[in-house]
Structures are given as structure tokens and as C-alpha cells.
């Protein structure tokens, strides 16, 4: 039996990651009483960042991976660069929370399991979409047109940037609009050397310091970065933006926030008479008890795959194919960015220069292919950017050398050559065959049907990979690499690997082709809003989180006004 | 909490508090974790016999000796190797390790007339170099073999080198006395001078 708790909230936000945190902040600050539900464990900001600043010698096996444990319980999550014993508590346990990936068309779902979600773990790179990004679908006929353009979102970019704090350099480039910036981080000597060379030998390229949600000065009660290095262990000074460091504390400060962790939302309850969602049904992850919570407004911010799963699992007589799915678009058009293998270049410049501190940020070469009026002969649509990172080789990259004794020790303790690595991130076309469905024959430990995901790359992305390969080679040569290891001509990326999954409940003006309208409101259900990555109509090639933030804040503004006007 | 651990916590606390105006401090839970979490090598290993332990220590000392800075022995590397052999190596790797230890313990004295640990240092080095020469076809020596993957069929000498080097440069002694370590840099400068004898800093993923 369902033990109903008759608590009414103005709004319920499902998920506490990047978008859930923003929805909580915006809605509570507008005076709404908000319940935030997260299926993950409760992590307290700072207090529970147990691995923060912990040295290697305290870690099990001195930070050699716990292979047995990882293979048994985290076979997928442990493949991620940010996964380690120092932050394992933030990650999804793959054994406890399985999903189905078609081996022929595999998809990797990297997933958090903690309040704050992947905002604790994200790469913090923050870029605005350009005007062209919003027009790409209508220009080349793939997917459906966006219902909004850059000018609709620009003020909301500013709104979220001013609060979150984005460090970067204003450049005035139309293909990469500037944010409201905090001062940029300093550069490596090698980056300046490379930038000068590129200006001469590849003048069509632009390069700027990474735009990062890491503070370069104290901002809104959070401290400037102390450059300890591994952000993804959590940051008790709140120097990188996360729900934990920024939006949830702001929401809490209003007195209007109720947050429940370990709360697995099983389904949304649709009322045919009113045509609205009336409640959510929640399973306590620890006790298994079921509760339902009622509200007037519902924001889905659970991340692309989980939000889609929840909508598909909330079907009814009115919506046999999933809630708010009269269009049939729900679950389709799954996208991720085409992330290349890193192209690693070795440099012998500036060998007598070094660095102090660990900069949690790289530099960025924005899209330079298929910009308006160029590359008419290219063999692919849309474009890609390169994220570039500097490393100085140390013992970890040379321990398998020959020799013994004082000479070996000396060689190992001293820095080696410089490395500059390029990673391409390419725009992915929206296609119905890349999709998320429910498998009713496989239930999870809560009795909820598991999601089954199919994803492969289109011919366009295959051609884009080849172009990335050629262009990265050109860039490495122009930059002055003495040697580089290319990415190869064959696409080896696996969908989900860029952790930029999006698109399965897309926005659009046409209710027959899209799930959400121009305000992230479900066409079919007036009090349902979806603002995580699932709302995306196309994918651009820049990191998406900043756009999710802006869309969320914009949708909250609209929803609260509609609510006040009695339209919801 | 012993004195060393207290000092370590204090160092982190002080460097944080003194520079960050917005009140950086370690939480009770973090304090407890840092202070009370034992070093990995604090546990007492019980995998090897005393004579085998001596062999492992001599090899580790040859790989990373004490110079003007401490070496593998001072960093507790023999203990690390024994713990890893017992708890971390898989069956295949442990089989190679055990066979390697047995070889050092029995075959070497038969050939040289003395236990390995009693041979003179040039002889000991020569034996290890011969083992390395014989192992040189192993994929362990390939350029791309770094960081996460342990080469499961790597010969004993490669296991010893990897565990010694890893154990040393992730130990407190190795990190704080041999590398350039600052847990709380407070700023980033990408253009500092590097002298010919300067050490590198420990690497963090970004």
C-alpha cells in the first residue's frame, strides 16, 4: 500500500544536479515552496568531501586502482578519468543500478549517485552556444528547428554566469560568444609559444584560455581557487560551481527548500480530469517504502537518461507510450558529442620553464570548420572544437624505463618533456534510431523497468572524425610538436563517452514532433517542465552545461509567472 | 594521532586558513579522515618470510637507493611491495611474483654460492640487469604503458620496478622529500623558472 504523506509543495524538482540545483534556486527565490528529490545519497557540502586534499599515501594501494572492487561494482564508472577511490562515493554503483546497452550499438551511461549529481564531477568547461548553433537544424534540415534563438537565451546566460562565476577571456568571436567573465586563468609558457606559432602558421584558428566555472577571485561568498588540482573530489571552498557549493545553499537560504536524498522517483501521477501532474510517487532507496508528494508544478532535472526513463515509466491510458509523449519523440534523437581520442604532442620548447599550482582548466580552439561562408566542399555538416591541455611528463609517464639506481631515481624525479594534447568534441546529429526505451522484462531493485539504450554514429560523424584527424595533425605541426600521436582515421568513440548525452525529450514549436515547447514546458501537460539535457533539439559542439543552466533559469521564470497568472 | 600526522594536518590547515579570507577549514570528518586514516603501508604485511623480505628490500634499494635524498627503504617501499603482492596482484601476477621470489631465494645461491643479499652490490646489480635484459621483450617496456593498467604477464623484474617506483613516488617520503610538493598552492603560475636539478611536482588529473 502507498503510505501517502499529504504534504503540498508549490513545486517539485526531480534531480539535484546542475539543472535541479538551478531550478531549486530560481523557484525558491520566487517564493515557491520547493521539494527537491534526488535518488542519490546525501552528501554534505565540504563535510563529506572525504578525499579532498587526501594524499596518495593514505589511499588504498597508494592509489593504484582497486581492480577487483572496480570490476565488480563499478565496471563502467571506473573507466572515467575522474573516478578514483578519493571520490568513489559520488558515483553510481553499476552492479546495484544496471541498465541495458545494446552491444551492437553501445552507449555508456556515466552517472552520479549523490546529492549534487554530476555537478560534483563535471569538467566545468562553460561555453555559450552561438547564434549559428540554434539555426543549424533549420539550415541543413536535420532534426527539427529550435523554437528559440540565441537572443532568447542571451540574457539568461548572463543571469546564470553572474551567479555561477565563469573565468575566461572575452574575445568577441561570433562563433563563441563571450560570457560575463571573471578574470581568466594564467597561461603556461608553452601555451603562449604555441599560440604565437598558430597565429603565423594556421591563422584561421583561434585559441583562448578555457572558460571554466572555477573562480579566479572570491565570488558570491565562495573562495577563489586554491589550485590544489583534483576538483572532482569535491571542493569545500566552493571554488568550482556545483549545486552543492552554489545553487542549493542559495535555495536553502530562502527557507523555502525541502531536500530529500535517497528518493527514487518511480513515476509521475497524471490526472486526466485536470490534464496535469498531481503528484510524484517516490521509493525510499534504503527502506523501500513508497511515498507520494503532491505539488502544482513539476520540474524534471534528473539528467537525460533518467528523465526519459521516468517519463516512459509514467504512462497512462491517455499516454500509453509515455507521459507527455503524444508526439512519439520521447526517447528518440539521443545525442552525445563525438569525443576524439586525445592527440598527444610532444614539445621541447620552454624546457627551462615550469609551473606552480595545478590549473584545473585547459585552453580551447573553437569551431573553425563549416562556419558561415566557408568550407562549402567539406564532407560533413556542422563542426567541432578542440580542448587542449598542457602536461609536463613526470615519473608516472616514464616508470617503465630501463635502468637502476641513482641515475634512474634522478631521471624519474625530474620533469620530462612538455605534452600538449588535443581532444576534439564534435556536434552529433539528432536521429530517431538513437534511442532510449524501457525493457519491461528487466526490472531494477526497485521494480522499475530498466532502460535499454541504442546508439551509433551517423555517416556525418564518421566523416567528421576523419576531418578532426587531418586537422589535428595540421594543428600539431603548426604548433611545433616534435612528435605527435594522432587519433587515427577510424572512429573509436562510444556514445555517452563525452558525458554530454542529450535530446530525448526535445523542444520544438510543433507538438507533433517535439515533447517540449519554447519554454521547456511539455506540449501535452501544462505543469510539467523538463530542463536537463533531454530538452535539447540539437547538440552544438560546445560543452552543454552552461546552456542547460540558462534554459532552466529561463523556464523557471516562465513557469512561475504562468503559475501566478493561474495559467498552470 | 601521532606527531607526524598532527603536523601534516596542521600544515594543511594553516596554509588554508592563513590565505583564504572566506574561511577555509577542514571539516571534522575530513580531519578525522586525514588524521586517522592510516597510511597504506601502516599495516603489517605477512606474506613473505623474513629472508624473502630481505631480498625484496635489497632489490627495492637497488632500484631507488638513498642518495642526497631518501630512497625506497626510508619510504617503506618493501612493505608496500609485500602488501601489494598479498592484496592487489591477481593470481597470474602473484604466480609470477612468487616464482621470482623463489628464483632469487634458491637459484641465485646455487649459481653464486651465496644468498642474494650477501653478494656484493655490483654482483647484485649485475643479476638485476641480466633479468631486465631478459625481460626486455615484455610489453611492460612499451611507451604507451603508463598509469592505470598493470601488465599482468610482466616478468618479476618489471613487477619489482613498477611497485618500487610507484610505491616510492606516492609515499609520503617520496612526495614530500623528493618531489616538489605543495598541497595548497593558492595560485597558478605557468611560467616559473626550472633549474637543471629541480624535481617535478606530483601530477594531478584535471
Domain spans in chain B, listed from the N-terminal domain onward: 3-37, 42-172
Chain A 255-294, residues with CB within 8 Å of chain B CB atoms: none
Regions in chain A scoring below 70 on pLDDT: 1-7
Q: Which three cell numbers stand for residue A51?
A: 578525499
Q: What are phi and psi of B173, to 5 degrees?
A: -65, -50
- Residue B117 to chain A, least CA–CA distance (Å): 16
- What's the gap between Cα A63 and its chain centre? 26
Nearest CA in chain A to B167: A62
- Residue A398 to chain B, least CA–CA distance (Å): 7
Inter-chain residue contact B27 with A394, CB threshold 8 Å: no
CB contacts, 8 Å: A63 with chain B: 170
Task: Return the ∠ at Cα B31 (arms to B28 and B37), rounded to 5°.
Answer: 125
| pLDDT per position as a tens digit, A473-499 | 999 999 999 999 999 999 999 999 999
Inter-chain residue contact A396 with B203, CB threshold 8 Å: yes
Tell me if chain A has a CB within 8 Å of the CB of B189. Answer: yes
- List chain B pLDDT tens, one digit each, 206 residues: 333 343 344 444 433 333 333 344 555 566 556 556 789 999 999 999 999 999 999 999 999 999 999 999 999 999 999 999 999 999 999 999 999 999 999 999 999 999 999 999 999 999 999 999 999 999 999 877 765 678 999 999 999 999 999 999 999 999 999 999 988 899 999 999 999 999 999 876 54
Of A397, A292, A284, A422, the C-alpha closest to A344 is: A422
Tell me if chain B has a CB within 8 Å of the CB of A47. Answer: yes
A32-168+233-275+313-336+434-457+501-568 in CATH: which number? 3.50.50.60
Tell me if chain B has a CB within 8 Å of the CB of A49. Answer: yes
Q: Which residue do the cell numbers 549517485 mark?
A: A113
- Residue B70 to chain A, least CA–CA distance (Å): 11
Tell me if chain A has a CB within 8 Å of the CB of B117. Answer: no
Q: Which three cell numbers stand for residue A269?
A: 501521477
Tell me if chain A has a CB within 8 Å of the CB of B33. Answer: yes
Picking from A47, A61, A397, the nearest residue to B40 by CB comes out as: A61
Picking from B38, B179, B206, the nearest residue to A229 by CB comes out as: B206
Q: Which residue do the cell numbers 596542521 mark?
A: B10
Strand A276-284 and strand A418-426: the pairing is: unpaired
CB contacts, 8 Å: A222 with chain B: 22
- Residue B131 to chain A, least CA–CA distance (Å): 11
Strand A363-365 and strand A208-209: the pairing is: antiparallel
Tell me if chain B has a CB within 8 Å of the CB of A141. Answer: no
Nearest CA in chain A to B80: A61
Picking from B140, B187, B191, the nearest residue to A400 by CB comes out as: B140
Find the helix or strand (DSSP H, E) in which A442 lies.
Answer: strand A435-443
Contact between A26 and B154 (Cβ < 8 Å): no
Contact between A422 and A476 (Cβ < 8 Å): yes
Contact between B191 and A83 (Cβ < 8 Å): no
Test the B interface: residue of A51, A61, A62 with most B CBs within 10 Å: A62
Mean pLDDT across chain A? 96
Contact between A424 and A385 (Cβ < 8 Å): yes
pLDDT given at position A7: 54
Picking from A82, A351, A358, the nearest residue to B185 by CB comes out as: A358
Picking from B167, B178, B205, the nearest residue to A62 by CB comes out as: B167
Contact between A491 and A461 (Cβ < 8 Å): yes
- Residue A99 to chain B, least CA–CA distance (Å): 26
Test the B interface: residue of A47, A64, A224, A419 with most B CBs within 10 Å: A64
Nearest CA in chain A to B146: A397
Name all contacts of A471-476 with Cβ < 8 Å and 24+ positions apart: A471/A369, A472/A340, A472/A343, A472/A386, A472/A422, A472/A424, A473/A343, A474/A202, A475/A198, A475/A202, A475/A205, A475/A365, A475/A386, A475/A422, A476/A343, A476/A345, A476/A422
- What's the gap between Cα A127 and its chain centre? 12
Picking from B22, B172, B200, the nearest residue to A237 by CB comes out as: B22
Inter-chain residue contact B200 with A53, CB threshold 8 Å: no
How far is residue A373's CA from residue A388's CA, in Å, rounded to a whole number? 26
CB contacts, 8 Å: B71 with chain A: 409
How far is residue B173's CA from residue B196's CA, in Å, rounded to a whole number? 22
Tell me if chain B has a CB within 8 Å of the CB of A56. Answer: yes
Domain spans in chain A, listed from the N-terminal domain onward: 32-168+233-275+313-336+434-457+501-568, 187-209+338-426+458-492
pLDDT given at position B147: 59
CB contacts, 8 Å: B179 with chain A: 394, 413
CB contacts, 8 Å: A398 with chain B: 146
Picking from B165, B188, B189, the nearest residue to A395 by CB comes out as: B165
- What's the gap between Cα A268 and its chain centre? 25
pLDDT given at position A491: 97
How far is residue A215's CA from residue A360's CA, in Å, rounded to a whole number? 11
Contact between A256 and A32 (Cβ < 8 Å): yes
How far is residue A364's CA from residue A520's CA, in Å, rounded to a whole number? 30
| pLDDT per position as a tens digit, A423-479 | 999 999 999 999 999 999 999 999 999 999 999 999 999 999 999 999 999 999 999
CB contacts, 8 Å: B27 with chain A: 46-49, 236
Inter-chain residue contact A228 with B204, CB threshold 8 Å: yes
Of B133, B122, B121, the C-alpha closest to B158 is: B133
Q: Which three cell numbers stand for residue A249?
A: 545553499
pLDDT given at position B15: 39
CB contacts, 8 Å: B146 with chain A: 396-400
Q: How far is CA B189 from CA A62, A356, B206, in A?
A: 28, 5, 16
pLDDT given at position B29: 62
Chain B 121-140, residues with CB within 8 Å of chain A CB atoms: 125, 128-129, 132, 136, 140
pTM of the model: 0.94
Tell me if chain A has a CB within 8 Å of the CB of B162. Answer: yes
Q: Which three cell numbers stand for residue A234?
A: 569535491
Tell me if chain B has a CB within 8 Å of the CB of A220. Answer: no
Q: Which three cell numbers stand for residue B179?
A: 618531489
Tell me if chain B has a CB within 8 Å of the CB of A389. Answer: yes
Tell me if chain A has a CB within 8 Å of the CB of B27. Answer: yes
Tell me if chain A has a CB within 8 Å of the CB of B120. Answer: no
CB contacts, 8 Å: B63 with chain A: 404-405, 408
DSSP string, A51-90: TTT--GGGSGGGGS--HHHHHHH-TTGGGSTT-STTTGGG
Amino acid at each position: 500500500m502507498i503510505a501517502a504523506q499529504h504534504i503540498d509543495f508549490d513545486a517539485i524538482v526531480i534531480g539535484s544536479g546542475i539543472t535541479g540545483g538551478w531550478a531549486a534556486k530560481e523557484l525558491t527565490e520566487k517564493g515557491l515552496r520547493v521539494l527537491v528529490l534526488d535518488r542519490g545519497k546525501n552528501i554534505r557540502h565540504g563535510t563529506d568531501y572525504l578525499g579532498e586534499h587526501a594524499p596518495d599515501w593514505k589511499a588504498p594501494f597508494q592509489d593504484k586502482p582497486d581492480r577487483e572492487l572496480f570490476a565488480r561494482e563499478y565496471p563502467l564508472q571506473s573507466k572515467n578519468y575522474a573516478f578514483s577511490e578519493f571520490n568513489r562515493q559520488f558515483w553510481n554503483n553499476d552492479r546495484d543500478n544496471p541498465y541495458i546497452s545494446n552491444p551492437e550499438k553501445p552507449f555508456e551511461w556515466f552517472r552520479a549517485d549523490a546529492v549534487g549529481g554530476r555537478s560534483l564531477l563535471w569538467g566545468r568547461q562553460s561555453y555559450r552556444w552561438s547564434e549559428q548553433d540554434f539555426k543549424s537544424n533549420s539550415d541543413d534540415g536535420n532534426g527539427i528547428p529550435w523554437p528559440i534563438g540565441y537572443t532568447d537565451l542571451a540574457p539568461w546566460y548572463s543571469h546564470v554566469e553572474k551567479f555561477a562565476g565563469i573565468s575566461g577571456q572575452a574575445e568577441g568571436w561570433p562563433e563563441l560568444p563571450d560570457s560575463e567573465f571573471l578574470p581568466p586563468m594564467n597561461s603556461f609558457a608553452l601555451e603562449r609559444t604555441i599560440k604565437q606559432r598558430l597565429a603565423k602558421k594556421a591563422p584561421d584558428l583561434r585559441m583562448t584560455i578555457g572558460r571554466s566555472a572555477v573562480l579566479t577571485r572570491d565570488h558570491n561568498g565562495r573562495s577563489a581557487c586554491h589550485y590544489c588540482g583534483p576538483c572532482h573530489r569535491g571542493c569545500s571552498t566552493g571554488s568550482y560551481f556545483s549545486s552543492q557549493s552554489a545553487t542549493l545553499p542559495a535555495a536553502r537560504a530562502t527557507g523555502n527548500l525541502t531536500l530529500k536524498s535517497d528518493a527514487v522517483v518511480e513515476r509521475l501521477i497524471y490526472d486526466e480530469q485536470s490534464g496535469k501532474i498531481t503528484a510524484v510517487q517516490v521509493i525510499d532507496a534504503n527502506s523501500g517504502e513508497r511515498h507520494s508528494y503532491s505539488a502544482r508544478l513539476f520540474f524534471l532535472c534528473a539528467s537525460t537518461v533518467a528523465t526519459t526513463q521516468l517519463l516512459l515509466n509514467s504512462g497512462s491510458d491517455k499516454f500509453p507510450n509515455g507521459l507527455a509523449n503524444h508526439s512519439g519523440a520521447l526517447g528518440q534523437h539521443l545525442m552525445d558529442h563525438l569525443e576524439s581520442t586525445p592527440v598527444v604532442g610532444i614539445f621541447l620548447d620552454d624546457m627551462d620553464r615550469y609551473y606552480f599550482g595545478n590549473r584545473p582548466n585547459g585552453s580551447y580552439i573553437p569551431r573553425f570548420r563549416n562556419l558561415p561562408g566557408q568550407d562549402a566542399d567539406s564532407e560533413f555538416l556542422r563542426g567541432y572544437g578542440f580542448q587542449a591541455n598542457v602536461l609536463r611528463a613526470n615519473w608516472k609517464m616514464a616508470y617503465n624505463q630501463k635502468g637502476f639506481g641513482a641515475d634512474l631515481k634522478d631521471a624519474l624525479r625530474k620533469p620530462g618533456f612538455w605534452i600538449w594534447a588535443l581532444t576534439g568534441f564534435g556536434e552529433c546529429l539528432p536521429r530517431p534510431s538513437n534511442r532510449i526505451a524501457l525493457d519491461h522484462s528487466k526490472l531494477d531493485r526497485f521494480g522499475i523497468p530498466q532502460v535499454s539504450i541504442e546508439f551509433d554514429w551517423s555517416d556525418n560523424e564518421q566523416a567528421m572524425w576523419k576531418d578532426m584527424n587531418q586537422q589535428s595533425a595540421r594543428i600539431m605541426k603548426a604548433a611545433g610538436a616534435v612528435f605527435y600521436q594522432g587519433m587515427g582515421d577510424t572512429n573509436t568513440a562510444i556514445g555517452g563517452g563525452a558525458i554530454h548525452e542529450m535530446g530525448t525529450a526535445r523542444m520544438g514549436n510543433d507538438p507533433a514532433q517535439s515533447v517540449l515547447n519554447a519554454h521547456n514546458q511539455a506540449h501535452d501537460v501544462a505543469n510539467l517542465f523538463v530542463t536537463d539535457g533531454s530538452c535539447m533539439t540539437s547538440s552544438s559542439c560546445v560543452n552543454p552545461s552552461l546552456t542547460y543552466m540558462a534554459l532552466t533559469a529561463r523556464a523557471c521564470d516562465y513557469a512561475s509567472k504562468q503559475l501566478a497568472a493561474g495559467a498552470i | 594521532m601521532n606527531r607526524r600526522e598532527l603536523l601534516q594536518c596542521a600544515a594543511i590547515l594553516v596554509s588554508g586558513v592563513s590565505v583564504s579570507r572566506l574561511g577555509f577549514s577542514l571539516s571534522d570528518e575530513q580531519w578525522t579522515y586525514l588524521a586517522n586514516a592510516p597510511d597504506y603501508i601502516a599495516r603489517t604485511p605477512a606474506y613473505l618470510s623474513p629472508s624473502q623480505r630481505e631480498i625484496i628490500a635489497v632489490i627495492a634499494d637497488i632500484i631507488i637507493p638513498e642518495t642526497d635524498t631518501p630512497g625506497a627503504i626510508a619510504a617503506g617501499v618493501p612493505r608496500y611491495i609485500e602488501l601489494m603482492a598479498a592484496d592487489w596482484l591477481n593470481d597470474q601476477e602473484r604466480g609470477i611474483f612468487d616464482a621470482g621470489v623463489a628464483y632469487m631465494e634458491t637459484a641465485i645461491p646455487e649459481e653464486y654460492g651465496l644468498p642474494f643479499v650477501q653478494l656484493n652490490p655490483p654482483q647484485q646489480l649485475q643479476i638485476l640487469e641480466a633479468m631486465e635484459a631478459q625481460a626486455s621483450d615484455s610489453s611492460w617496456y612499451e611507451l604507451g604503458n603508463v598509469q592505470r593498467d598493470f601488465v599482468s604477464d610482466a616478468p618479476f623484474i618489471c613487477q619489482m620496478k613498477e611497485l618500487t617506483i610507484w610505491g616510492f613516488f606516492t609515499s609520503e617520503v617520496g612526495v614530500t622529500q623528493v618531489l616538489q610538493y605543495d598541497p595548497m598552492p593558492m595560485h597558478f603560475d605557468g611560467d616559473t623558472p626550472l633549474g637543471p636539478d629541480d624535481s617535478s611536482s606530483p601530477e594531478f588529473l584535471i
